Amino acid sequence: MSAETPAGAETPAGADAPATADTPATPGRPGIDVPDRRGRTGLDRTGLDLTGNPRVKVLDVTLLSSNWYVTRTTRFEFEHSDGHRSIEERETYDRGNGATILLHDTARRTVLLIRQFRYPAYVNGHPDGNLLELPAGLLDEDEPEAAIRREAREETGYDIGEVEHVFDAYMSPGSITEKLFFFAAPYRSEERADAGGGLADEGEDIELVELGIDDALARIGDDIIDAKTIMLLQWAALRGPFAA
C-alpha cells in the first residue's frame, strides 16, 4: 500500500496511479508535458484559443508526432453556410513559417537559383530529386527579413542589401500550416562574400545556378517545377524588376 494513498481509497478515474516500488511513475509525454527534442511543450493546445471565426469551435487537439516538425489531429465544430453544424477532423503538419527570395541583376537580366536534392520530390516521381529553386528557409525565431538574409548568405554566399517584401502565401493550406514570405533583392556577381552552398551540419549540398530571366521563365514546367520559384519568377516578369 502506498504511503500517499490511505487504505480503502480509490485512485480517481483517469488519474495516473501513484508511483510505488513495483509501479514506476508514468513518463511524461514529449511535446505535451515534458520538452520534446526541440524543447517544446504544450503542443496539444495549439488552436484551442482560436476565436476569429465564430463558425468554428475547436474541441480537442491530439499530438501525433513532434520528432522535428509537428503533426496534429484537431476536432472542431463547424457551422455550414446553411446553418447546420457538424464535427470535423483535420490532420495538420506544422513546420513553422518560412521565407524565400529572388535575387536579380536587372542590368545583366539574370536571376540566382539553387539546385539541391529534395527527397519528398524524389519519392513522389521526380527522376533524381534535384530541383531548381530559389533560396529559402524556415524563420525559426527570426523575423522574415532577417531569416531570408541569413538563408541567402548560407545558400548563395551573398550578403544582400535592400530587400523588397513582395507578398505572402499559404503554400498548401489543406494540410500544411506554413505561411511563406516572399522577397526580392538585387545582387551583383562581384559582391559575393563566400561560396555559399548551405550548412554541412544540416546535410545541405547546394549548387548555385545563374540563369537569364528569359531562360528561367522558359524552363517553368520543365526543370523548374517548384511552386515558390515559379511564383516569384512570374511576379518578376509581370510586376517586378523585369516587367516591361
Rounded distance between C-alpha atoms, residue 36 and residue 64, angstroms: 13
Phi and psi torsions of 184, nearest 5°:
-140, 150
Residue ranges of the annotated binding site are 136, 151, 155, 204
CATH number of 98-238: 3.90.79.10
- pTM of the model as a whole: 0.85
Judged by phi (left if over 0) then psi (alpha if -120 to 50, else beta), residue 83 lies in: left
3-class secondary structure, 63: strand
Structural contact between residues 135 and 181, judged by C-beta atoms closer than 8 angstroms: no
Residue ranges of the annotated binding site for Mg(2+) are 136, 151, 155, 204
Return averaged pLDDT per consecutive 10 residues of the chain, 244 residues in all.
45 48 70 92 96 98 95 98 98 98 98 97 97 96 96 93 97 97 94 67 80 98 97 98 93
For CATH 3.90.79.10, the residue range(s) in the chain are: 98-238
| pLDDT (0 to 100) of residue 191 | 80
| pLDDT (0 to 100) of residue 105 | 97
Cell numbers given for 107: 542590368
Rounded distance between C-alpha atoms, residue 186 and residue 231, angstroms: 17
